[in-house]
Structure 1
Amino acid sequence: MEISASSLIFLAGVVGIAWAYSQFRIIAKIPVESNSGNSESQPLTSSGNDAEKTARLQEIYQAIYEGAESFLRAEYIVCFWFISVFSIIVLVLVSWGTGWDAARGVFTALSFLLGAITSMGSGYLGMKVAVFSNVRTTVSAQKPGWTDCFNTAFRAGAVMGFALCALGLLMLYMTMLAFRVHYPEAKQWIYLTECITGYGLGGSVIAMFGRVGGGIYTKAADVGADLVGKVVHGIPEDDPRNPATIADNVGDNVGDVAGMGSDLFGSFAESTCAALVIGSSIGISGGWDAMVFPILVSSVGIFVCLICSFIATHIKTVKREADVEMALKVQLISTTIVMIPTVYYTAMSYLPAKFQLAKTVGTGSLDITPLDATYCVAMGVVGGLIIGLITEYYTSHSYQPVREVANSCKTGAATNMIYGIALGYKSAIIPVLVLALVIYTSFTICDMYGVALAAIGFLSNLATGLTIDVYGPVCDNAGGIAEMAELDPSVREKTDALDAAGNTTAAIGKGFAIGSAALVSLALFGAFVTRIRHASGDKVFADGVNMLEPVTFAFLIVGALNIVMKLQAVLALVFADTFFAVNAGKGLLKMG
């Protein structure tokens, strides 16, 4: 028996939250203690007193927790005042732009606040879970084998990934249902989707604070710790005598976990809202279930990511160092493969055999079939995988590019930096071509709605993407804690091996974020054009909006600010590729 779209969306949200909680409970069962006397664990901590090491582990864990908590508290206080003031601006501008329609102004401001609060809550939750899991990954690394420590870090990422996707999904859909009470008729749903765009804006605002603010703190703390330790005092990285190591570990949690979570949440919210606005006319010919198809894609994505997560933790378990990177890569590939038939079945179940969509470019309407919608989503899913694999090729120590960067270190820092930056720019060629192909194909099939669906396809396996992305900082912190607690060197060697794969996966996460952001930017412009056309009663040029209208042109300049931010993100990816490669190169040089 086929369930309704609302039932499926709510089921996905509840299952996602329940799964995140179950993973958290498994992690919580690991005691924070150093145990070298347990015959089952065959201890790696052969020197020192276990009680002293346990006390040290708990002390470091508490210091990192307090630092991360203090940073996010200070950051979120600023965010709270900002969104409070900005929500009033949104209320006034939307009301003014709609002829002083108070309902639309209030609803847009309310959805803006809900999006911002959900993003803040997701980032805070991710930080708490990452800090909670860092020290437990260190403890698990004391046990023989690789399975326990890998699974601990992987489950920590799963808590963040599934909780964020489920919370974002539920909040967005419940907001839509609440607005539907005021806009019950299909012809009014254009106003409903217009109001819901505030949700994506709220998520993007917090992403700006989390990604930029947290990112600056992260790099400042990381570089500062390296300068004072390695350069000034000549001591190893994460040496317990270096107080800046705590700030470095705090930065991993507030920037690479909370910041990245807010960033991807913003992309998810923006792409969904853009698709809803562009496809609002589908509701007239296809009904509510057809109009919320973009949300259904994200819903079934939660189930797909959940099922595929068993591959890493139960089916193809990590038993040696070489298995770590392969296990993470299999997650990306498996979710991509399973998503395509799942999306097809969803489209055939919830979309009419043929429905009409008003064109964004030009006039008239398109006749779209479920297969057309499936093609567009599949283009995004496969495009995201290709970009992820290309990023891995240029940042993993298993492939030639990183090894060439390692060899360039032999002739000095200058050649290393030049070669690394050149390699970073080279790594962007194929992803850009993939994005161009995805945009062209999806636009040809379904106009701007197809581009929006492709963006959603990029993020359809977001739960897995975030799982892999959070895995990296957790392993990085675990290594720092092992060094600061002065555990056996073999513990640090194991966490460093996990972190090496984490560095690569972190770059993959950036590739996903930037690729989806490029599509989302285009989809948002399509939503803007759709809204302008509706507001003007189609009194526009035959080929689209009149760009020479003062109001349109003025706000295009404001919108260009978003493009500048995306370009900065691209440069960040380039330099991230370079620095990850350099770090891997250092390891290769040590191995000879």
Structure 2
Amino acid sequence: MSDLLYIPPVLGVAGIILAFIIFALVKKNPAGEGKIKQIADAIHLGAMVFMRREYTVLFIFAAVLTVLLYIGFGSWHTPLAFVVGALCSASAGYIGMYTATFANVRTTVAANQKGASEALSIAFFGGSIMGLTVASMGLLGLGGLYLLFGANPEHAEAIHGFGMGASTVALFSRVGGGIFTKSADVGADLVGKVEAGIPEDDPRNPGVIADNVGDNVGDIAGMGSDIFESYCGSMIATIAIASTMASSSVAIMASGAETAETLMFLPLALASVGLICSVIGILVVKVFSGSDPAKALRIGTIGSTLLLMLAAYLVIQYFGIHFNVWLCVVAGAAGGIIIGLVTEYYTGGKPVRDIARGGETGPATVMIAGLAVGMQSVVIPVLTIAAIIFISSSLLPEGAGVYGVGIGAVGMLATVGITMAIDAYGPVADNAGGIAEMAEMGEETRAITDGLDEVGNTTAAIGKGFAIGAAGLAALAIIAAYIETISRKVEGFALNISNPEVLTGMFLGGIFPFLVSAITMRAVGDAAFDMIKEIRRQFKEIPGLLEGTAEPDNARCVDIATTAALKRMVLPGALAVFAPVVVGFGIGPEALGGMLGGALVSCVLLALTMANAGGAWDNAKKYVEKGNLGGKGSDVHKAAVVGDTVGDPFKDTSGPAMNILINVMAIVSLVIAPLLVG
């Protein structure tokens, strides 16, 4: 067993090397000259400036938490794991965003010079770097810490700090990036499309560069950190559950002298083979890139999942673990596919056309139809999550059911390399279309990038649904690990709904998703207000701007979005980190457990509603822009744009913040659990 412990970090290093090889291949493609290069450089510079300023604020916050952890635990083990987790998460987001800003312009040039197949390959390879980096950083960081602490029961709990570091970075990156991108997007759309009547990504619009920068910092760096923390959180929770499991349950589930250690190592082993399956899936997409883009991406994703099921069976058989554990992996992996397909239907199928038709009677009916679609879309994904929980916990012996839930979450997230790749592909393709429009590269090029972008919108929506489902399962596993950790030191500890402290905690937990949603929605609205005023000012005060004879002040809009994001991302992060501390130490571990349960249910329901409603509004607008129901500039189009502007913070700011919120609260609770009963 000891020799096998080196496999995850070694594969992590190999994955990072492969990501840089792919980046080198992407960079070999021509990046254009003149105006196209100038536009791409402005997007790259804006993204880098934002990331540096965001990470500066994040460094201060993380430094304070590191000191508090050292004071609380009186040792360096948990603070070290926290720092490693934060660094791995931040590095994954930064590398993915940095490389995407090189892939976007090369996708545009390829669409112009070589056609759709080559453009798809470059855009997907740009997203693949993000996917491989997320998976590899998780294996390297968590696998390395497991080598350091995992074999020592006294220090094993320090690994929980890794999840807390990753979650803290994820919340700041997702919320900050989401506020940035949507304030720019809403401002650019409302003034540009509705008021000035100019096309999307028109170079005359001062908010367009900021909008394209936001696609990178929000939908790539933010999404990467989001998936990273769920990916690592599911493994950490499963390791923690295995370490606290009764010896009788362990003996039933595994055979051999190292049964407990085998069950603890299994999540890392599954994630390791998942990385290999993801690489194969990426190669499959490359092979099929000459056909329909949506078909190629679907074959790669589903193929990777099927490969994982086979590989997981071989791994579980090799370790001599109970067959039913493999069924838990299958349940989680299959559930991820179901959630993705349901999300694809609600954000790209008949409901989208129904919303668009609502525009014939004005913005109000667009809003009503979109909200109804978002609410209805919750049903099947939540039933799927419930089925995964029920099946996974029922398959294993009494006392080990929660381990099955954790393994199910790992099964859903093990192929995160390909899942994140197709999600990050979307913003790269979107940027490519924006660059093509701003550089005035013609209708033929724009038609190719629009086709890639349309597929990217669907993959991004699928990615959000997958992220929410995965975060819900990961959070549930972490909560189970929290209960097991407390139970080891408090005999008879349980979360009974008849307990007033538990019930109080449940209602307190239900508050936070709505409070954080309100804060982030207000942040986007306030920042968009400032953005709209600035764009209007430039249209009015810069002579010749609307005529196309003068250049807009793009840097000013980027600065407005950056400042707004940095100011308003701290409060949601502080609430998520410190609320469990206040409730846990102020009321007790029962109330904290209840709070986590209430927050989990509210977060999942609210996140699915907002993400799917926002995605449906976005694609309804694009459906009209393709020439349906009057096309661009019609009253139906203007109504659909209003729906899209409301949907923007739904799907890209507040909705994604929910899955990170519950994971941050859960992992902080798990970290402080030993202190609550110490």
**Interval containing the TM-score (normalised by the shorter chain):** 0.7 to 0.9
In structure 2, give the amino acid aligned to 1:342: A
Task: Find 2:412's aligned residue among 420, 440, 458.
Answer: 458
After superposition, residues 64-143 of structure 1 pair within 5 angstroms as 64-93=43-72, 95=73, 102-103=74-75, 106-143=76-113
Q: What residue is the counterpart of 2:134 in the other structure? A: 164
Q: 1:21 Cα deviation (Å)?
A: 1.7
1:263 Cα offset (Å): 0.5
Letter matched to residue 395 of structure 1:
T
Is 1:345 aligned to 2:314, yes or no? yes
Whether the 8 Å contact between 1:402 and 1:584 is mirrored in structure 2 is no
- 3-state DSSP of counterpart to 1:133: helix
Residue 82 of structure 1: how far off its partner (Å): 0.4
Q: Closer, same or farther in 2 for the Cα pair 1:138/1:448, shift >3 Å?
A: same
Q: Distance in 1 between matches of 2:293 and 2:612?
A: 24
1:178 and 1:158 map into 2 onto residues whose CA distance is 30
Question: Are 1:380 and 1:457, in contact at CA under 8 Å, matched by a contact in 2?
Answer: yes
Change (3 A) 1:545 1:419: closer
Paired residues of 1:391 and 1:507 also in contact (CA < 8 A) = yes
Displacement after TM superposition at 1:91 (Å): 2.6
Superposed CA deviations along residues 486-509 of structure 1, whole A, max 9, x for unmatched, are 111211111011000100000100
**What is the CA–CA distance in structure 1 between the aligned matches of 2:163 and 2:366, rounded to whole Å?**
40
- Of 386, 391, 394, the residue aligned with 2:346 is 394
1:15, distance to aligned residue in structure 2 (A)? 2.9
Tell me the amino acid that sits aligned with residue 368 of structure 2: I
Q: Answer yes or no: is 1:378 the counterpart of 2:416.
A: no
1:491 maps to a residue whose letter is T
Alignment deviations for residues 458-479 of structure 1 (CA, whole Å, 9 cap, x no partner): 1111001100000000000001
Q: Does 1:585 align with 2:623?
A: yes
Letter in 1 for 2:311: T
Cα distance in 1 between the residues matched to 2:494 and 2:211: 55
Per-residue CA deviation, residues 133-191 of structure 1 (Å, 9 max, x unaligned), is: 110100110124321000000000111101121111111111121225xx54xxx2xx4
Taking the aligned partners of 1:432 and 1:560, their CA distance within structure 2 comes to: 15
Report how far residue 406 of structure 1 moved: 2.8
Q: Which amino acid aligns with 1:31?
A: P
Per-residue CA distance 1:410-440 (angstroms, 9 max, x = gap): 3322222211221222222111111111101
Letter in 2 for 1:254: V
TM-score (normalizing by structure 2)? 0.75
Spell out the pairing of 1:465-480 with structure 2 (5 A cutoff). Answer: 465-480=419-434
Contact (CA 8 Å) 1:405, 1:585: kept in 2 or not?
Answer: no
Alignment of 1:347-426 (within 5 A): 347-350=316-319, 352-353=320-321, 369=322, 371-396=323-348, 399-426=349-376
Q: CA offset at residue 213 of structure 1? A: 1.2
The partner residue of 1:528 within 482, 486, 489 is 482
**Equivalent residue in structure 2 for 1:329, among 298, 303, 317:** 298
Does the Cα contact within 8 Å between 1:312 and 1:318 map onto a contact in 2? no
Q: Which residue of 2 aligns with 1:551?
A: 588
Q: Which residue of 2 aligns with 1:432?
A: 382
SS of alignment partner, residue 243 of structure 1: coil
Contact 2:483-2:593 within 8 A present in 1 as well: no
Q: Give distance in 1, aligned partners of 2:51 and 2:384.
A: 36
- Asked if 1:250 is matched to 2:213, the reply is yes
Residue 302 in structure 1 maps to residue 275 in structure 2: yes
1:248/1:287 CA distance change after superposition, 3 Å = same
Q: Name 1:506's counterpart in structure 2.
A: 460
Read off the aligned partner of 1:165 and give its amino acid letter.
Answer: A
The 3-state SS of whatever aligns with 2:394 is helix
> Are 1:529 and 1:544, in contact at CA under 8 Å, matched by a contact in 2?
no
Instruction: Check conservation: 1:108, 1:196, Cα contact below 8 A.
Output: yes
Measured after TM superposition, the shift of residue 3 of structure 1 is 10
Secondary structure of the residue aligned to 2:9 is helix
Partner of 2:20: 21
Q: Which has the higher contact order (CA 8 A, sep 6+)?
A: 2
List per-residue Cα deviations over 1:85-133 (Å, max 9, x = no partner): 012222333x2xxxxxx34xx2111111111111111111111011111
Gaps of 5+ in 2: 503-586, 631-678
* 1:208 CA displacement: 0.8
Paired amino acid for 2:71: V
Give the number of aligned pairs: 531
Report the CA distance between 1:539 and its aligned residue: 5.0
Question: What is the CA distance between 1:561 and its match in structure 2?
Answer: 8.3
> Counterpart of 2:379 in structure 1: which amino acid?
I
* 2: CA distance, partners of 1:3 / 1:155: 35
| In structure 2, distance between residues paired with 1:79 and 1:541 | 36
Q: Quick one: structure 1 residues 450 and 208, their matched pair in 2 at CA, closer, same or farther if it must change by over 3 Å?
A: same
Corresponding letter in the other structure for 1:389: L
Distance 1:3 1:151 in 2: 40
Q: Distance in 2 between matches of 1:203 and 1:89?
A: 17
Question: RMSD in angstroms over aligned alpha carbons?
Answer: 2.4
SS of 1:239 mapped into structure 2: coil
Task: Name the counterpart of 2:125.
Answer: 155
The one-letter amino acid paired with 1:575 is A
Structure 1 unaligned segments of length 5 or more: list them. Answer: 34-53, 96-101, 354-368
How many percent identity over aligned positions? 40
Residues 433 and 450, structure 2, Cα contact 8 Å, conserved in 1: yes
Structure 1 distance, partners of 2:162, 2:467, is: 18
**Using a 3 Å threshold, how does the CA distance of structure 1 residues 219 and 540 change in structure 2: closer, same or farther?**
closer
Judge conservation of contact 1:420–1:581 (CA < 8 Å) in 2: no
Q: Give distance in 1, aligned partners of 2:316 and 2:500.
A: 35
Contact 1:532/1:545 (CA < 8 Å) preserved in 2? Answer: no
Is 2:173–2:218's contact at 8 Å kept on the other side of the alignment?
yes
**Secondary structure at the counterpart of residue 155 of structure 2:** helix
Deviation at 1:28, TM superposition (A): 0.7
Residues 332 and 547 (structure 1 numbering): CA distance in 2 closer, same or farther, change over 3 Å? farther
Counterpart of 1:478 in 2: which secondary structure? helix
Contact 2:346 2:612 (C-alpha < 8 Å) held by counterparts: no
Quote how far apart the aligned CAs of 1:525 are.
1.1
2:290 aligns to what SS in structure 1?
A: coil
Measure how far apart 1:242 and its partner are: 1.1
- 2:259 corresponds, among 286, 290, 296, to 286
Question: Per-residue deviation at 1:553?
Answer: 3.2
Provide the C-alpha distance between the structure 2 equivalents of 1:196 and 1:291, rounded to a whole number of angstroms: 12
**TM-score (ref. length: structure 1):** 0.85
* CA distance 1:467–1:273, shift in 2 (3 Å): same
Q: Distance in 1 between matches of 2:201 and 2:429?
A: 13
1:72–1:568 distance in 2 versus 1, CA, 3 Å: farther
* 1:237 match: secondary structure: coil
Amino acid at match of 1:130: A
Task: Note closer, same or farther for the CA distance 1:295–1:520 as it changes in structure 2 (3 Å cut).
Answer: same
